[in-house]
Amino acid sequence: MTLEQRVRPRAADVFTSRALIPATGHGVLDGWDVAVKDNIDVAGLPTTGGTRFLSDNVATADAKVVASLRAAGATIVGKTNLHELGHGITGVNPTFGTTLHPENPDYTVGGSSGGSALAVMLRYARVALGTDTGGSARIPAAYTGLVGFRPSTGRYPASGVIRISPSRDTVGVLGRSVADVALVDRVLGSVPAAPSPSAASQSPVLGVLEEACEWLTPARRALFEEAMSRIAATGVEVMLLSEQRELDRCFELGIVVLAYETIPAIKDYLGAAHGADAVQALIEVSESPDTREILRAALDEPVSPDEYRSARAELAAMHERFVSALGRSRVTTLVYPTTTGEPPKALTLSQDEAEAQLRAVVLNSTPATLFATPAISLPAGVSEETGIAAGITLERAAGDDADLLRDATLVEEILAGDRLG
């Protein structure tokens, strides 16, 4: 069956607003249609963050990333739906609609950048901007058979973006190919036009993070093992890594970091225009139980500065241990399943249910957000049980974005044909 014969989500559930915002210049993105997640400012359009509280929050200027895209020739085609304020991965938004999966409407495409993934999957746009705090660009890309790229933290400017955890947040890029994503990265970041000749001649050594495979469902394990077998069969060196990244502890400490940073970050975006009690007012009108409870807890039972510093120190020590162990191998690039199971069901969940689902979906994608490293999810087959795509993630050291995109190009060629649509 073709994509058109399956469920096609309503455009109203993909976009929070649609408009053609023309390019301001000419460049490498001439003729490209780009969708923008609705927590990133586009001048003249509301930046709602997926929350009713900001329905009338019309941006007066482009975010820097949007301005760069338009200057390079891109046309903005609209703002895409998201989990309320980006505080979740279900894709269920009671205000703006649910980002149902076209291949199986019992599920969503995940989030929080679900609308951005659908905009590209359904060809409303060639590429889309998302954001990634816990995996929110890579996760929906994986479930829709797309490429989802999280650059090194700080590589792209963050002005004009609703942030929820500044030490973890970054704008990300979703597209149908590594080449498209890499071209957008050239516009937004500082990667050279092409890898250096010396870098291009070096083959990556892929290290499979065994810890990240422990919770795979049988169907997802089969897809990951098949993908890795195909990669190894081409002569690319693949090693198994038993080193522990302490994924469960990363997840727990990541919650502490986000809880400490989120209220100040939201206040910083809202500014004086929305009043001193804006966050409390936002919570009162929030229609997503998980978002509402996260914000209420962060406001009423805040993480102390000492708890925050302790969490950051523990994370730094964990990362140092892992990098030290990794340094004793020849591994250049980590590889692991982007997610361990199917995407969220299209249901509004209780806080406890949402927390359990959040852990299951973001466990593997969380560390990159805590250690500022670039990571990219690539299509890696489709589940026969659900018809929903799977992804594998490549990750390198912070700042190695160009080399990561080079590695991803190689792996994409090997796994060609695994994307949907």
Tokens representing 138? 């890579």
222 Rama class: left (phi>0) / alpha (psi -120 to 50) / beta? alpha
Please report where in the chains the tokens 């198994």 appear, as a residue.
Answer: 240
Catalytic residue among 17, 37, 167, 288: 37
Question: Which residues have C-beta within 8 Å of that of residue 173, sequence separation ≥ 6?
Answer: 127, 128, 129, 130, 137, 148, 149, 151, 181, 184, 185, 188
Catalytic residue among 17, 112, 165, 383: 112
Tokens representing 230? 């195909």
Which backbone phi and psi does 391 adopt, to 5 degrees? -135, 155
Question: Residue 175's closest CA among 232, 130, 239, 223?
Answer: 130
Question: Which residues have C-beta within 8 Å of that of residue 213, sequence separation ≥ 6?
Answer: 221, 224, 336, 337
- Is the peptide bond prior to 112 cis by the omega test (within 30 degrees of 0)? yes
Catalytic residue among 17, 68, 116, 136: 136
- For 136, the 3-state DSSP assignment is coil
Q: Give, in order, the Cα–Cα distances in Å from 14 to each of 41, 144, 177, 332, 367.
A: 17, 13, 21, 37, 28
Instruction: Identify whether 136 is a catalytic site residue.
Output: yes
- For 225, the 3-state DSSP assignment is helix
Instruction: Identify whether 79 is a catalytic site residue.
Output: no
Instruction: Identify whether 112 is a catalytic site residue.
Output: yes
Question: Which residues have C-beta within 8 Å of that of residue 402, sequence separation ≥ 6?
Answer: 191, 192, 195, 199
So which residues are the catalytic ones? Answer: 37, 112, 136
